[in-house]
Amino acid sequence: MAAQALKDQSFEARIFRARTGLVLLLVVSLLSLLLVRYFSLQITQHKIYQTESDRNRLQLQPLPPKRGLIYDRNGVLLAENRPSFVLSLVIERTPDLEETLARLQGMLDISAADIEKFMQRKSRRRPYEAVPLRFRLDESERSQLAVNRFVLPGVVVEATLVRYYPQGELFSHALGYVGRINQAEEAELDEADYRGTNHIGKIGIEKYYEELLHGQVGYQNVETNALGRVLRVLERTDPVPGADITLSLDIGLQRTAYEALSGRRGAVVALDPNTGSVLALVSTPGFDTNLFVNGISNRDYSALRESPDLPLFNRAIQGQYPPGSTVKPIFGLAGLSYGLVTAETKIADPGWFTLPGQTRRFRDWTLRVRGGGHGSAVDLRQAVEESCDVYFYDLAYRMGIDRLSAYTAPFGFGVASGIDTTHERRGILPSRQWKRDVRNEPWYVGETVNVGIGQGHMLATPLQLAVATAMLASRGQHYRPQMLSAVGGVPVAREAPTQFEAKADDWAVVQDAMYAVFHGEHGSARAAARGADYIMAGKSGTAQVVGIAQDAEYDAEALSEGNRDHGLFIAYAPYAAPQIAVAVVVENGGGGSTVAAPIARAVMDAWLTIDEAVSGG
């Protein structure tokens, strides 16, 4: 009875039903939560998680374009692309970046500068984009990375094309070079145009025609595994390679000019006076442009930057020199045009010139040789042939600086020529207004006299001298100098020339005087013309670097090299139908007829007689 009284089956049934209901409620609740979560994953947030999954599995990779090649006028390759291997890291695939970098430094020669540049690139990358760490891996380095690839997650070795300049120093200033894109450049570039690209034109032709040479980036959508290795390509848009360009430069002429300068500081520019095409553009000393492509070392850059010869300085377009007597033919033409002189006008030449009411003598440089002037009286032809300073002192004084400046400006002085390269300088063509604007000072008549022989405030680049020489050769046709000749094998159109007007008789007088410089009985460059089988015309120039006392004699041996005169020469040939115009500057080389004229002759020989069929002369 007692045991039966203790057992209450009704109560136990109620408890069982309550517990069963609770369990069922819990199960239903959990199933409901599971269904809600499943619905959320599969329906509500399907696209989000699919995107995340695809991001881990699928990648949109940029395909950098092949940079266009550069050729000379004869089809000789001046800038090409060579295969190279790059060590890169995909940050998302690298669990411990610091440890991975430490391992890589233990295996390879990776400098602190490499790490620093890697960190800069890393901050500007897109997700899952490989960031370059080391360029130009050799075979042994690639082998070592291949052996250790399983302990280097996220490390990839990519094949790429890198710029190479087979001619080295010969075209260093004409072509310029490409280099790695820096942070400032990347901020200005269109990101879509340069995805996956590590290099960009820095100076010269490479920078000026960057848009042509670069091409268009392509893309491919790839599927990868958990280690980031490509399993298959799902979609691909091929890159558009950059255009191959042909320059008017001639490698034979370039080499002749370079070798003729013999390592001296100087420049040579040669133009076709009939088209404005640049045939040679040389600045010495040059430098190996290949050093800059993947980042020049601090040691190499310091050596270039600290060299007293300034090899990085493009003297052809940046060097500004007093033109000296090379501008006398233009000033003579101005005197004829203004009616101040005729071909028969003679000026007394005692060897010096004095301004009215003054005792200071502006000396003729021949005084140190002859002890007097060029003769009792000198006409324009003799003044150019023998480079008589007194004639042009007098002419400049009577012309005045403003008229002289206005007449000379159309020959390309005082303004950039517009040549298709970078960092060209303007030179200086002085006038009263120029001095007021630049120095806030009045103009003095003695300064006009100095400008009359290409000294004083007047400065010109070798390129400007070549442009002016081409105008003298073509009787006033002024072309914009241009190095680009063809794009993708299709010749480029050239701008029509402007025409500087002068009387035919005046042109004839000046050209005859320049002819006499080479072929006259007392021509200052007569020695340089000896043995030529063609007729040429030119003008020598000597640019004073430091002043000397009025009664002192110039003694080059007593001066340091850097204070000696610059030697200049301009020339064109053949005389009757010019095909080439040349300007030469040799820094601290002495008299132009002695040091610069033979260089001009060598360049004209190379174009007109040596390997004529190859050079196109």
Catalytic sites, residue numbers: 325
- Contact predicate 384/426, CB 8 Å: no
Cα–Cα separations (whole angstroms), residue 492 to 213, 248, 484, 495: 15, 11, 7, 10
Contact partners, residue 549, CB within 8 Å, separation at least 6: none
DSSP three-state, residue 603: helix
* DSSP conformation letters of 458-481: -BB-HHHHHHHHHHHHTTSEEPPP
Q: Which of 209, 211, 214, 222 is CA-nearest to residue 198?
A: 214
DSSP three-state, residue 432: helix
The type of residue at 452 is G
Q: Which tokens sit at 472?
A: 């003298």
Q: Which tokens sit at 517?
A: 């410089």
- Contact predicate 517/540, CB 8 Å: yes
- Contact predicate 172/288, CB 8 Å: yes
User: In 539-548, which positions are buried (b, 16+ CB within 10 angstroms) versus exposed (e)?
Assistant: bbbbbbeeee
- Contact predicate 277/482, CB 8 Å: yes
Q: Which tokens sit at 380?
A: 């324009």
Residue with tokens 């002495």, as numbered in its chain: 590
d(CA 212, CA 214): 6
The total of other beta-carbon atoms located within 10 Å of residue 87's CB is: 24
* DSSP conformation letters of 14-47: HHHHHHHHHHHHHHHHHHHHHHHHHHIIIIITHH
